[in-house]
Chains A and B, each alone.
Chain A
Amino acid sequence: MIPDDTTKTASQCRHYAMCKIDFLGTGLCPPGKSKHYVSYYPQGRMDLWCALANGLIPVTERLVDIASTCTLCAICDKQCHFVTGMRPLKVMKALKEYVSDHVSRGGTVTRVESEPFLESLREIVGEEWATNDPAILVTYSNDPFPLAGMRLPRCVALPRTKDEIVEIVRLANKENVPFVVRGNGGSVFGFVFTDGVVIDTNRMKGIEIDRDNWVAIVEPGVTSFELQQEAAKHGLRVNAAEPAATVCGNIVCTGTFSTWSNAYGVGADNFVNMEFVDALGRVFDLNEKRAPNVFSFQNEVYPSPGICTKAYVRMHPIMEDEEGVLVPFSSFPEAVSFAKELSARRIGLAIGVLGGHYISTFMSPSAKLAEEVKTRLADALGIEYLVFVVGDKYARGAIRRMTETVIDNRLLRTIMLGLPRLVESEWADLITGLEGDKRPYQILLREEMYPLLETVLNPSPRTIAQAVDEDLRDFYADLYSRPQMTDLLWLNTFRIVSSRMSRHKHMFAFLVYVPLDDEKVTQQLVSEFARIAEKHSISHDYGFLTPLDFGKRAIFEYDYYIDHTDPAEAVKIRNAMMEIEPMLDGASARTKGVKWLKYVFSQGCSRKENFLYT
């Protein structure tokens, strides 16, 4: 008997794979780290629980191993709660108990027969690293994307080297078996599924730092977080995206964009070279004259050039005096205009225009607190948008001369660690009652007010920990005692809070490159996204915008939020897409500089000029 509440929790897994990186210093799920298959990680066990509940898989030998190797260490509870607010430990326990029960009652444990193709794979990668056990396959068959159905692969293989990938590709071609390659599957757009073989690069974790050439050479299993950690050891930084996304996959798929793209660019700006295994199993790198021209761009859905087996990622110097700041605004046009000016004047490195949902979600350890913070920021303080900037002391000095109110790191720390007090009604009522021509934030966030704010908010790790479940408060108090947890620069470099944006519901992100010289273009797109969402009763919000190429262009995100387990929500998204696609295609045809990321997908190695200025 499988209880409903555990299934409900399990079905809400967002598949962002944060449980596969040690982003909180808790360590990793022990069996996941050693076994590498998704099924051995908490994400996989969540999927397995759902699969059992829906009768999709039997209890197999592999499932018994997966269940028995879980130590119930509760690392997943902390990691997952930090990102999604969920408590997966109960699912891990339930799975363990279910399988143990099944076995002790003499239930059938299926042994899956091998087949010649699988044996051939095993000859390439080793016995342990290729399988057709359903307990493994099922966790590579689905993700929260509501418009794609489940596709159970035939096999999963985990190669260790480029040469193994070459052999797998050649074998698959010879046997006419389709294949896909997968990093951490965090794209959640239904792309990495196949009826054939899934090549999971999780074992390929090599990172080599070439300091002289400012390059990090990474294998395809290396995540953004892991690379950023390694670069930081050398006093360097990379332009990296979501922390659990694999670097190679991210570059190829999306061209890696982030708030750092203001300075570091997108697309081909991110790398010096890349090595691929193409669809026929041939190896090439982009510095070869005979290599395909991946720097070009076609405004259509285009296949990737192959499986990236190595990326030579550009690294950038870090100044010791860099810090992050936030500049509040009450309107979108003002915020965008400011961000654009910073970019055009080369002030700051990372720049982003964040909406209320993003900033409140990033700051808040619980969804409930995030909702309250978002309301208070807008209603009480008059803050609707914030421009986030990382800059050295000269850049920050310039920003202070350009604008009246700047939230520096000291103030952010006060606000974050005092967040539960910020939303208390007594304080909020007081702020709301402030009359006068200045907005409340212009009065309250001044430097002379800091001592008062610190008294009101009583910022401390204990204060912010009050926002979470009681049994997690000690953990959160300890976590927030670390300076980096309230350090804008660190948080933006390692991006451990960015996947919180889907905490309340799974996110359907629309990413569009836009021209910034006419701010109405972006505003119109925002209005259209909002209109279509309202029409189809879909929860929605503005995400972020980052200027590019000295403020000439920008990338912006608008998000729809859905319960991916609800078929009715899938219908809504499907219907909305029927309006969104022509809307975006039309905007792209009419206005130079508007490009939907859908067409950049898999052309991420392109020169940005080829998709921003054609």
Chain B
Amino acid sequence: MAGMRSTVRSILQRRDAKTSTFLITGGTGFIGSHLATALLKAGFPVVLVARRRGSLSARERVRALLDWFELDEVLESRLTVLEGNLDQQDLGLSEQAYANLLEVVDEIVHCASDTSFSERKRPEIEKANVANLDRLLDFSAKSRCCFFHHVSTAYVAGKTSGVCPEDPVKQEEFTNVYEETKCIAEAKVSARCAQEGIRLNVYRPSITYGDSSTGKTLLFNGFYYPVKTVVFLKNIYEKDLNENEGRRARQMGVRRNGDGGLFLPLRVATAASSGVNLIPIDYLVKAFMAILSESLCGDFFHVVNSRVTTLEELAEFTRRFFGIEGILPVSEEAFQETRRNALEALFEHYIEAYGPYMKDKRIFDSSKTRAILEKRQIVCPEFDFNVFSRCMEYAETAEWGTNLFGKSR
């Protein structure tokens, strides 16, 4: 194990002078773009290595994001966008660009990740979460990088119950390939950073949703997906009621309520005393910046909510906001008495993938994180109906992601 490349003092000096350059991977993604924006706002120069997508260059993609974040020219002037690809040798950069980057990067924030759960996508997930990390770590070793900020997930805890400590994980059983590869990634980054003398903070957020005060988000997965599905079903059955005299709605037991809402017979399997651990992106960003500032020796941090949101609460929020009744969390045994209908069959498959997160009984110890955040009076906003409403209002405005930037994708 090497001695540290930089002293805490020199790190602080460069940060105070705002000369620390941060390289961010996954900077066009949900978490990465928010962290990049926060760093720019904090006055730091930021480099994004981003890939093309279809006909859009990396710069064009970032341009759309800059408008979304409403960043001014001053902040933009601190941003450098390099078109590259972590899938490729030398991060997909030209020899010269790679060499230049080696000379300027002081700290790395690694957000790039494949968040799919599907076992059939294992090769792509392993490539994105493990092999690409190796290339980035090779870069960091050759560069002057002194601090690596690894955005992981609380769910590296894997298949466990009870308290999950803010420590390196020794786990061998995981719910899916995403958890498994993120755990492998943590082990790799820990070992390599120790070997190279690079300080390491590992940030483990739980399920992240939009901004708690504005509702804005770039991603509509997590809890958005089942809500979107329910809203979609509501719309098609309302259309059937309006245009086809409700012939198909009646077949499914769907009907209008007296108050103009809709009754959708939808039982959703859940487990007692369980729920989903949700944090808003604004909280994650504040927590990240606080930890970045305070944790100068490197450590592991759970950025989570102290309270889970139950399916009952989500169902109630959905009822209140969208006027959809009939969503009923039940135990799995209920389906043995009465088979799933088509709506419930669709949900069953959704819950199958997200089930461990919706019925989570894990308790994430976050004492280290709390110690830092309480000093700065940073508290995780409660996921209440007001926050839910803001998120849904934004989701509808952005057409659930298809109209994020003001025009159809």
Binding site for B on A (CB under 8 A): 425-427, 429-430, 433-439, 443-444, 446, 448-452, 454-456, 458
Contacts and interface: CB of A to CB of B under 8 A. Distances in A.
Contact of A451 (B239, B252, B349, B402): B252
Interface stretch (B203-211, B287-295, B339-347, B367-375): B339-347
A451 B225 contact: no
A556 to B, nearest CB: 27
Interface in B220-242: 220-221, 225, 228-229, 232-233, 236-237, 239-240
A436 B119 CA distance: 7
A450 B233 CA distance: 14
Interface residues of B, number: 37
B252 A443 contact: no
Nearest to B117: A435
A444 B251 CA distance: 18
Contact of A430 (B116, B232, B343): B232
A443 B351 CA distance: 13
Most B CB atoms within 10 A — which of A426, A448, A454, A455? A455
Contacts of A434: 349-350, 353
B19 interface: no
Given A449-B342, A452-B342, A439 B120 contact: yes
B117 A433 contact: no
Nearest to A451: B342
B316 to A, nearest CB: 23
Contacts of A449: 342, 345-346
A555 B244 CA distance: 46
Name the 6 nearest CB pairs between A and B, nearest first.
A435-B353, A452-B342, A436-B353, A455-B248, A443-B349, A437-B119
B244 to A, nearest CB: 7
A576 B68 CA distance: 48
A555 B236 CA distance: 44
29 contacts: A426-B400, A427-B232, A429-B400, A429-B402, A430-B232, A434-B350, A434-B353, A436-B349, A436-B352, A436-B353, A438-B349, A439-B120, A443-B349, A448-B340, A448-B345, A449-B342, A449-B345, A449-B346, A451-B251, A451-B252, A451-B341, A452-B233, A452-B342, A452-B346, A455-B236, A455-B237, A455-B252, A458-B240, A458-B244
A451 B228 contact: no
Nearest to B355: A436
A203 B354 CA distance: 67
A452 B236 CA distance: 9
B298 interface: no
Contact of A433 (B120, B225, B240): B225
Nearest to B349: A443
Contacts of B251: 451
A446 B228 CA distance: 22
Contacts of B354: 435
Most B CB atoms within 10 A — which of A427, A433, A454? A433
A451 B118 contact: no
A427 B235 CA distance: 11
Nearest to A457: B236
Contacts of B352: 436
Contacts of A427: 232
Contacts of A456: 236
Given A435-B116, A435-B353, A450 B401 contact: no
Interface string B278-320: 0000000000000000000000000000000000000000000
Nearest to A425: B402
B248 A451 contact: yes
A437 B349 contact: no
Contacts of B229: 430
Interface of B: 116-120, 220-221, 225, 228-229, 232-233, 236-237, 239-240, 244, 248-249, 251-252, 340-343, 345-346, 349-350, 352-354, 400-402, 408-409
Contacts of B244: 458
Nearest to A453: B342
Nearest to B402: A425
A436 B221 contact: no
Contacts, number: 71
Contact of A426 (B116, B232, B248): B232
A435 B401 CA distance: 17
Nearest to A452: B342
A429 B400 CA distance: 9
Nearest to A437: B119
A429 B395 CA distance: 14
Nearest to B226: A433
A436 B345 contact: no
A425 B120 CA distance: 24
B402 A436 contact: no
Nearest to B339: A448
A426 to B, nearest CB: 6
A404 to B, nearest CB: 13
A430 B226 CA distance: 10
Most A CB atoms within 10 A — which of B249, B343, B349, B401? B349
Contacts of B343: 452
Given A449-B342, A458-B244, 12 more contacts: A425-B408, A426-B232, A429-B401, A430-B228, A436-B350, A443-B349, A444-B346, A446-B345, A451-B342, A455-B240, A455-B248, A455-B252
Contact of B342 (A430, A433, A448, A458): A448
A443 B346 contact: yes
Nearest to B239: A458
Contacts of B402: 425-426, 429
Given A429-B400, A448-B341, A452-B343, A437 B236 contact: no
B248 A454 contact: yes
A272 B148 CA distance: 79
B180 to A, nearest CB: 14
A49 B350 CA distance: 58
A405 to B, nearest CB: 13
Nearest to B224: A433
A427 B342 CA distance: 16
A434 B346 CA distance: 9
Contact of A437 (B118, B232, B248): B118
Contacts of B228: 430, 433
Contacts of A425: 402, 408-409
B342 A450 contact: yes
A456 B248 CA distance: 10
Contacts of B409: 425
A443 B340 CA distance: 14
Contacts of B353: 434-436
Contacts of B400: 426, 429
A444 B120 CA distance: 17
A177 B121 CA distance: 66
A12 B102 CA distance: 58
A455 B236 CA distance: 7
Contacts of A448: 340-342, 345
A59 B314 CA distance: 78
A376 to B, nearest CB: 15
Nearest to B237: A455
A435 B345 contact: no
A430 B232 CA distance: 9
B179 to A, nearest CB: 13
A435 B353 CA distance: 6
B22 to A, nearest CB: 31
Contacts of A430: 228-229, 232
A439 B400 CA distance: 22
Nearest to A443: B349
Most A CB atoms within 10 A — which of B119, B229, B345? B345
Nearest to B122: A437
Nearest to B119: A437
